[in-house]
A = this chain, B = another copy of it.
Amino acid sequence: MSRQKVNNMEEFAKVSGISRPTLSKFFNDPQSVRTSTRSKIEFALEEYEYRPNIFAINHNRKSTKTIGIVVPYLADPFFAEIVRKIERHCIEAGFWPIVFSAHGEQQLENDALATLQSLRPAGALIAPLGKRSDLDCVKRFTEEVQTVVFDSNVDVGEAFVGSDNIHNVGLIVDYLCETGDAPCFFEMPPVNPNANKRREAYVTAMERLGHAPKVVQVKGTGWNFEKIGLEEGTRLISSGSLPSETILCSNDRLAVGLIAAAYQQGLRVGNGNNCALRIAGHDDHPWSQFTCPPLTTVSQNYEAITERSVGMLFELIDGGGSRQERPEVLFEGKLVLRASA
């Protein structure tokens, strides 16, 4: 490394022979300067080590190149995966994504929003906690920052992108009813609107098929879905109080716990004659293909959801002001047939 260090744009202007305002233009958008100038600058960048100071850059910009991402629980691989994809899309578009996790807590969500707001981001993509969110706080945030809401549809922000729960749950209820007993619905007290929508969709689908819906709601709070699925599943199984031998879980993580409960109680899960239970989930969570047996579920279209969310946000950022209507885009998932049901 013979590259010399350069401390600021002024110095880099001297050594590169390009004026500072032009350099400023270049760093904001390399395409905006003449090809010959660009190659001069790039040549100098090889020679000298220099990167514009991020704080100074954003200090005096009207519109920052920062994009805030707020999720309820980053340790959930679903969100980890979503965030990963969103980050990529942002970086490709020349933005600087910055991730916050609420860790399931209202206070931390509020803190994240406040910190984010003081970063004056160009826009934000948020998946609110849902029921636990401080809606006033979230609303105030969205009034200052262009926001696309995803995954959990609370009525704030300029747009929503998520999954078509009605369609998805319909898919799997149809499948389960066609291939065996009508399912009961296994859920915990809903942490966000998705859980509610899924229960409602289950009830609708069952009634459409002429079955009596049977909802089993177990106790449990927080984001330890597997733990709740295991503990409450164990209780239900050992007391024989499951209303059906086919169980549709509100999400895959709950199903992971329930499968573990069944295994530990010596019940075989799956489609065969020698199986005592059929278990299905929703989300096609990254873990779901590794359960024993592998979990039958409905996928969410991760790629479409992230791409559209980011896309809509960029439209908002480019378009400037907010529009009249608040579009809600829902993507349909697909049935993922594995061995558990």
A contact residues vs B (CB 8 Å cutoff) = 1, 51-56, 58-59, 74-77, 80-81, 83-84, 87, 91, 96, 98-99, 101, 103, 111, 114-115, 117-120, 140, 226, 230, 256-257, 259-260, 263-264, 286-287, 289-294, 339
Can you name 13 A-B pairs with beta carbons within 8 Å? A53-B59, A53-B118, A54-B115, A55-B58, A75-B80, A75-B286, A87-B101, A91-B111, A98-B98, A256-B287, A260-B291, A264-B292, A264-B294
So how many copies of this chain end up in the complex? 2
- A54: which B residues are within 8 A, CB to CB? 55, 115, 118-119
Chain B nearest CB, measured from A198 CB (Å): 21
> Which of B115, B117, B264, B292 has a CB less than 8 Å from the CB of A260?
B292
Identify the closest chain B residue to A88 (Cβ): B103
Identify the closest chain B residue to A257 (Cβ): B290
- A1: which B residues are within 8 A, CB to CB? 140
Whether A292 pairs with B290 at a CB distance below 8 angstroms is: no
Chain B nearest CB, measured from A255 CB (Å): 10
> Which of B101, B230, B290, B294 has a CB less than 8 Å from the CB of A84?
B101
Task: State in angstroms the CA–CA spacing of A77 and B117 once bound together.
Answer: 28
Whether A114 pairs with B264 at a CB distance below 8 angstroms is: no
- A290: which B residues are within 8 A, CB to CB? 226, 230, 256-257, 260
Whether A59 pairs with B51 at a CB distance below 8 angstroms is: no
- Max count, chain B CB within 10 A of own CB: residue among A1, A75, A98, A117: A75
Identify the closest chain B residue to A54 (Cβ): B118
Task: State in angstroms the CA–CA spacing of A56 and B119 once bound together.
Answer: 10
Whether B260 pairs with A51 at a CB distance below 8 angstroms is: no
Identify the closest chain B residue to A140 (Cβ): B1
Q: Given A51-B114, A290-B256, verify A80-B74 contact (CB < 8 Å).
A: yes
Identify the closest chain B residue to A224 (Cβ): B286
Task: State in angstroms the CA–CA spacing of A91 and B107 once bound together.
Answer: 13
Whether A264 pairs with B293 at a CB distance below 8 angstroms is: yes
Task: State in angstroms the CA–CA spacing of A83 and B292 once bound together.
Answer: 29
Whether A259 pairs with B51 at a CB distance below 8 angstroms is: no
Task: State in angstroms the CA–CA spacing of A287 and B257 once bound together.
Answer: 10
- A264: which B residues are within 8 A, CB to CB? 292-294, 339
- A87: which B residues are within 8 A, CB to CB? 101
- A259: which B residues are within 8 A, CB to CB? 292
Task: State in angstroms the CA–CA spacing of A289 and B263 once bound together.
Answer: 12
4 extra A-B contacts, CB within 8 A, seeds A53-B118, A260-B294: A59-B59, A75-B286, A264-B294, A291-B292
Which 6 A-B pairs rank lowest in CB-CB distance, beginning with the nearest?
Answer: A75-B80, A263-B292, A292-B292, A55-B59, A55-B58, A260-B290
Task: State in angstroms the CA–CA spacing of A323 and B180 once bound together.
Answer: 69
Identify the closest chain B residue to A111 (Cβ): B91
Task: State in angstroms the CA–CA spacing of A53 and B56 once bound together.
Answer: 12
Identify the closest chain B residue to A78 (Cβ): B75
Task: State in angstroms the CA–CA spacing of A96 and B55 once bound together.
Answer: 14
Task: State in angstroms the CA–CA spacing of A23 and B59 once bound together.
Answer: 19
> Which of B80, B118, B256 has a CB less than 8 Å from the CB of A80?
B80
Chain B nearest CB, measured from A227 CB (Å): 8
Chain B nearest CB, measured from A12 CB (Å): 14
- A103: which B residues are within 8 A, CB to CB? 84
